[in-house]
Amino acid sequence: MKTYIAILRGINVGGHNPLKMSALQELFKGLGFKNVFTYIQSGNVVFEDDQYNCKQLEVRISTKIRDNFSLVVPVIIKTREELIVVFQNNPFVKNKMEMDKLHVTFLSDRPDKTELNPIPGGFGNDGFEFGDRAIYLYCPNGYGQSKLSNQFLERQLKVTATTRNWKTLAELVKISNNKLQ
């Protein structure tokens, strides 16, 4: 069995797209996934499967959420190994940045190289670095004050994006590692 992490975009945010984690967990089990764990209310699910690849899983899960809950929710799937690479390669951690100011925006696909250049400046103290289907963010005034929102990055890069804070990412890595023991 391979361990995957599903990162759902836009559920339980500001009262929009309400979805209980217990219902989400049951949905995943109903799809035949094993060892399903959810983490906090923002739509993070660690699970195991041996039949599908990441893109197939994204379609199956988002379709089932739409069918069962009438919610259109983008889903980004990472393998455990991909998540660990993202976690280990954050350039802001290496620079000893404050951990509570760090975030990662996960991208549904690799942006076209031509889309990377037009991102305009003017982000104040915020910093960003591109990874592989991820953007590392340093937001000293908080992510809520940053211009580097999911919507902005989606418009610029023409891919779906969803952001998690560093604490959540660290916990997802921990949960996915513990599943192997």
pTM across the whole model: 0.91
pLDDT tens by residue, 3-60: 999 999 988 777 778 799 999 999 999 999 999 999 998 899 999 999 999 999 999 9
Closest CA relative to residue 75, chosen from 117, 32, 118, 19: 19
pLDDT of residue 72: 93
pLDDT of residue 179: 60
Dig out the tokens for 109 from the structure: 């696909």
Cα-Cα end-to-end distance for the chain: 13
Q: Which band of pLDDT confidence, cut at 50, 70 and 90, is reported for residue 165?
A: very high
**What is the amino acid identity at position 97?**
M
